[in-house]
Amino acid sequence: MRTTIRVVPLIFMNKNIFLIALVLLFSCKSKVEKIRPAVESISESIYASGIIKSKHQYQAYASVNGIINEIFLVEGDTILKGAPILSITSDVQRLAKENAELAANYAAVSSYQGKLNEAKLMIELTENKRKNDSALYFRQKALYAQQIGTKNELELRDLAYQNAKLSHFSAVVNYDNLKRQLDFAASQSRKNLMISSKVESDYTLRSEIDGVVYRLNKTLGEIVNPQTALALVGDASNFILEMQVDEYDIFRIRKGLTVMVTLDSYKGKVFEAKVTKIIPQMNERSKTFLVEAEFYLMPEVLYPNITFEANIVIDSKSKALILPRNYLINDSIAVKANGDRVIVKTGLKDYQKIEILSGISAEDELIKPLQ
């Protein structure tokens, strides 16, 4: 079989290529996109993302070591401030308190009332002897003045009187010292018992707020220490939005700005909030600042650590001359339908639209520049 090869003239091929290129050129020209600026509303915002936290949310820690011996509620239960969450037991603490109680009872002043009575009785006895020896001395002194009796007898009466005074003074001092020592020992023992009781109260973990126990991290019988977070507690009715804002945008954020919030848990809904706090320290790792906001009207149900996306509205206008951003070159140059390029002054902008302040009007027809 003979194979026939058809040779097409080169001139004919070149003409076909030219015709195809001409058709494509006119087709592209006919598809040039044109638009006129329109008066619309626009808002400029800064994107942020973050998590929702319960107001006053905190991790509850015990200040002691021990073993969990009782849990008073379950996750999701409401709790009042001061109410117990769980209790911890420790044999060392139990024995320490019992020892403090024994010491307090032993050191109580009432236990030493007999010694105090004895010391007080000694004061009375020495006082009576002092009075008696005083009377004898002054009687002997009067007799001696009448030349009755000897000087030696007078000196003996004087010595007895001085000894009686010293014994009485000593009895008073001994009583005061004994009472002061007993009062000090009793007071110290009571303080030690109070300290032991306070330490014992540390073995019961109590809520710092009125709220909800969102999580219990330990179970009955587990060993805990002061470095162990035992529970997550927070307000059940108030929540805070914690957002991370880039350092490039933080100087445009201020309190009171509106925040438009979207949650994966509430698809298709947008919630409004407002900026309430700006933490002025930058996270050096992420180069972001923490910004807090609160809902104007909260979703019906919320839980801690739900993620969200937000736009912090910096400024907005209800009537502005708007143009799609892809109709500008570098957000500053517009191309008219006749091919002229015009420098425009712009204002607010979002991801898709930009405000035109000057350079073109609503009557100007623009074409989309080739990117």
Answer whether residue 14 is part of any domain.
Answer: no
Query: Which region holds residue 268: left if phi is over 0, alpha if psi is between -120 and 50, else beta?
Result: left
Q: Are 127 and 165 in contact (CB under 8 A)?
A: no
> Is a pLDDT exceeding 90 seen at residue 52?
yes
Residue 24: inside a domain: no
Domain presence at residue 221: yes
pLDDT in tens, 63-118: 888 888 889 999 999 999 999 999 888 656 555 555 656 665 655 555 566 777 88
CATH value at residue 241: 2.40.30.170
2 assigned to some structural domain: no
Tokens of 8: 């097409």
Q: Which residues contact 196 (CB under 8 A, 6 or more apart)?
A: 93, 96, 97, 100, 101
Q: 353 and 304 in one domain?
A: no
Looking at the structure, do residues 138 and 280 belong to the same domain, yes or no?
no
Q: Are residues 232 and 293 in the same domain?
A: no
Does residue 23 lie in a domain region?
A: no
∠ CA 19-21-24, rounded to 5°:
110
Determine the Cα–Cα distance for residues 371 and 369; give it in Å rounded to an integer: 6
The C-alpha atoms of residue 7 and residue 238 are separated, in whole angstroms, by 84
Structural domain that includes position 117: 91-202
- Contacts of 191 by beta carbon, 8 Å cutoff, 6+ apart: none
pLDDT tens string 192-242: 766 655 555 667 889 999 999 999 999 988 888 888 899 999 998 899 999
Count H helices and E strands in the chain, helices first: 4, 21
Per-chain mean pLDDT for the chain? 80
Q: What is the CATH number of the domain that holds 362?
A: 2.40.420.20
Task: Please tell me the distance from the alpha carbon of residue 96 to that of residue 213, in angstroms, as a whole number.
Answer: 32
Left, alpha or beta for 147 (phi > 0: left; psi -120 to 50: alpha)? left
Name the DSSP class of 287: T
- Whether 253 maps to a domain, the answer reads yes
Three-state SS at 186:
helix
Count of the separate structural domains present in the chain: 4
| Other CB atoms within 10 A of residue 348 CB | 19
Could you report the per-residue pLDDT of 107-119, keeping only the tens digit for each?
Answer: 555 556 677 788 8
Q: Which of 208, 166, 183 is nearest to 58 (CA)?
A: 208
38 and 99 part of one domain: no
In the prediction, which pLDDT does 274 show? 95
Identify whether residues 139 and 195 lie together within a single domain: yes
Spatial distance between the Cα atoms of 192 and 252, rounded to a whole number of angstroms: 57
Same domain (yes/no): 222, 247: no
What pTM was computed for the model?
0.55
